[in-house]
Amino acid sequence: MAVTNNTVIRQITSTRRSLSAPERRAGYGMLIPGLLVIAAVTIFPIIYSVWMSLNNISLTTNGYLMSFAGVHNYNLVMHSAKFWHSVWFTFYFAVVTVFVELFLGMLIALAINGVERLKNISIVVMLIPWSLITVISAQMWQYIYNGVYGVLNYIFISLHLIGSPVTWLGSATSAVIAMMVADIWKTTPFVVIIILSGLQMVPKELYESVHLDGANAWHTFWNITFPMVRGSIALAGLFRILQAFGMFDLPYVLTQGGPGTATQSLAVLGAQVMFQNLDFGPGSAVAVSTVILVLTLSLIFLSAFRNLVREGEEQ
Amino acid sequence: MIEAKWKTVLRYMVLIGFLVIILLPFYWMFITSFKPDFDLGAYPPSLFPHHWTFKHYVDAFTQYNFGMYIRNSVIVSIVSTFFVLMFASMAGFSVAQLPVRGKTPLLVALLVISMFPSIAIMSPLYMLLRHLHWLNSYQALIIPYTAFNLPFAIWILRNYFLQLPKALLEAGRVDGASIFQTFYRIYLPLTTPGMFTAAVFTFVASWTEFFMALTFNQSNTMRTIPVGIALFSGQYTIPYGTIFAGSIVSILPIIVLTIIFRKWIVSGLTTGAVKG
């Protein structure tokens, strides 16, 4: 019996294998073109970036000359106060804005969850900042923050919050906060939408059962709602932070990295070194260092995130 | 569960307050674009324009080439979206339905790649495009936009293709159709919502991209809208009126898109939660 069964199984698997050969061929045929495009524009240039960062590079009329320089460029970068300032600025800007966005997003989503009227229009309005060109929002905020005729000064003076006009983008601290506000304004609605759709997946019966148990709002939130949406919040936060590490548009237009270098993100610094000073070697070293930072961070986050999800599943 | 009335009122107040905060800066931009020049730098600013003028809209198109920026943006975004849909639908179908090896590492790798900051590839791409004499050309943006939006589109479409039964493939074979024909005629029409989602995300990402557009296409005739708006400059002052007139014009089509496709955008945000 066992022998016949085995033969039958072998026969079945062999026919399946012969049937799946064209499927496999078609599979690779349809997959590879897309992967080649991705590889050509991302993977190969990243590897080439690493190579460029190890060379001295000078531009010629139609090309460039490279001579191997070892870790010379990295030495320059690692000893540059400007670089470390950019790392620190990019890092805390990302952490603070993403934290505020998630916190505000959670509060607002909880407050408006279950609102029936205005639902469609709200979603459209919340999507507008997401689809807005960052350059436009930067110009808009620059006009609002203007120290002479900006409307923010007018509002704050009318409310007696300040006595005389403030040049918001003129001092380091207020420029950083102003930029954070612009970023939070643009991204919080997006976070609200994500959390809102997470909340809508929480079964209503769960709430009803705790309600009968006489739990208060805080208990309901902490024991029912939060564990259910924790995964999607963590994921959204992770991606937002990683994305914030590439931040370029907002500082480039709103403050040009200033005043001084107060709001110079890693990408703005890298672009300046490469495309204004035409120092492609050190510029590539900045770019590669940014990638290493992002990779390290995502590994740390991913392992933390895995624990978080596992914890959630065990409960 | 019946809620107290005051709670419902509170919910609506939070919602309306939130919507007002989102919209107020837009209101300011909107009315500024209609204010005459002498009103733009006035203090205290007028919260409603006393004289309305279309001058800035006319200026944007006659003096500042805004029509050309729009044309460039439309061409680059539409062609990139087309290529993304073409490559991503095939790849997503392949990963979801066909027996290719190494799917899981591939999908993770795609996710990691989509998170890479674009500064990482800037200098080699710039060198390459310069060498090919492709700086200031449409392909200088279409190719990177296609590549950068592919990973996310593959993810979205894979999720849609996964929901379809494998038996369709069998049925196609019985009818004597090739696998590609089965994909094209049977599977693809069933994933229209996924295609819409991928299309909207790619289009918006290409429409708003600034870093590469600024670096690769700086010549005035090849600028896209974000570059045009960033580099608008007057002789003595920043021409905010014209900047905002152009901005309003470029926001309108996207708002229309958002209204039409909001269902698919939200579904993309929740299945992916990747792009911001």
> pLDDT tens across B186-219, in order?
999 999 888 998 999 999 999 999 999 999 998 9
Q: Do the domain assignments include residue A65?
A: no
pLDDT class for A5, splitting at 50, 70, 90?
low
A17 has pLDDT over 60: no
Give the pLDDT confidence score for residue A244 in this predicted structure.
86
pLDDT digits (tens, 9 = 90+) for A35-53: 999 999 998 999 999 999 9
The closest of A273, A192, A240, A269 to A93, measured between CA atoms, is: A240
pLDDT digits (tens, 9 = 90+) for A288-299: 999 998 888 878
Contact B73, B250 (CB under 8 A): yes
Reported as type and span, the H/E element at residue B25 is helix B5-32
B276 has pLDDT over 50: no
d(CA B75, CA B247): 18
CB pair distance less than 8 Å for B120 and A144: no
B25 is written with which tokens? 């800066």
State what percent of residues in chain B have pLDDT above 70: 95
B161 has pLDDT over 70: yes
Give the pLDDT confidence score for residue B275 in this predicted structure.
41
Residue A287 sits at the chain B interface (C-beta within 8 Å): yes
B250 has pLDDT over 90: yes
Q: Which of B22, B120, B131 faces A63 most closely, judged by CB atoms? A: B131
Domains in chain A: how many in total?
A: 2
Residues A162 and A235 in one domain: yes
Q: What is the CATH number of the domain that holds A82?
A: 1.10.3720.10
Residue A30 sits at the chain B interface (C-beta within 8 Å): yes
Residues of B (183-222) whose Cβ lies below 8 Å from A: 183, 204, 207-208, 210-211, 214-215
d(CA B245, CA B29): 8
Q: Which of B23, B125, B210 faces A45 most closely, judged by CB atoms? A: B125
Q: B interface mutation test: which of A17, A143, A184, A295 has the most B CBs within 10 A?
A: A143
A2-38 and B139-162 helices cross at what angle (nearest 10)?
Answer: 150
Give the pLDDT confidence score for residue B44 in this predicted structure.
85
Residues A169 and A231 in one domain: yes
Distance from CA of A195 to the nearest CA of B (A): 9
Q: Do the domain assignments include residue A73?
A: no
Q: Do the domain assignments include residue A291?
A: yes
Range of the domain at A8: 2-53
The closest of A159, A179, A175 to A167, measured between CA atoms, is: A175
Give the pLDDT confidence score for residue B126 in this predicted structure.
92
More confident residue, A207 or A222: A222
Strand partners, A123: none
CB pair distance less than 8 Å for B258 and A131: yes
Q: Do the domain assignments include residue A104?
A: yes
Distance from CA of B208 to the nearest CA of A (A): 5
pLDDT class for A211, splitting at 50, 70, 90?
low
DSSP letter, residue A264: -
Mark A98-117 as b/e (b = at least 16 C-beta within 10 Å).
bebbbebbbebbbbbbebee
Residues A83 and A146 in one domain: yes
d(CA B190, CA B164): 8
Residue B4 sits at the chain A interface (C-beta within 8 Å): no
Strand partners, A181: none
Residues A188 and A41 in one domain: no
Q: Do the domain assignments include residue A68?
A: no
d(CA A71, CA A54): 6
Residues A308 and A200 in one domain: yes
Reported as type and span, the H/E element at residue A2 is helix A2-38
CB pair distance less than 8 Å for B99 and A190: no
Residues A143 and A27 in one domain: no
pLDDT digits (tens, 9 = 90+) for B56-101: 999 999 988 899 999 999 999 999 999 999 999 999 999 999 988 8
Contact A233, A198 (CB under 8 A): yes
- DSSP code string of A195-248: HHHHHTTS-HHHHHHHHHTT--HHHHIIIIIHHHHHHHHHHHHHHHHHHHTT--
Region for A73 from its dihedrals, namely left if φ exceeds 0, alpha if ψ lies in -120 to 50, beta otherwise: alpha
Strand partners, A67: A56
A178 has pLDDT over 90: yes
> What structural domains does chain B harbor?
58-272 (1.10.3720.10)
A78 is written with which tokens? 């690692």
Contact B230, B216 (CB under 8 A): no
Question: What is this model's ipTM?
Answer: 0.91
Contact B182, B168 (CB under 8 A): yes
Kindly give, in sequence order, each residue whose CB lies less than 8 Å from that of residue B91, ignoring residues fewer than 6 positions away. A30, A31, A33, A34, A35, B150, B154, B157, B158
pTM of the shown model: 0.90
Q: Do the domain assignments include residue A63?
A: no
Q: B interface mutation test: which of A17, A18, A42 has the most B CBs within 10 A?
A: A42
State what percent of residues in chain A have pLDDT above 70: 88
Give the pLDDT confidence score for residue A114 in this predicted structure.
78
Residues A200 and A306 in one domain: yes
Q: Do the domain assignments include residue A219?
A: yes
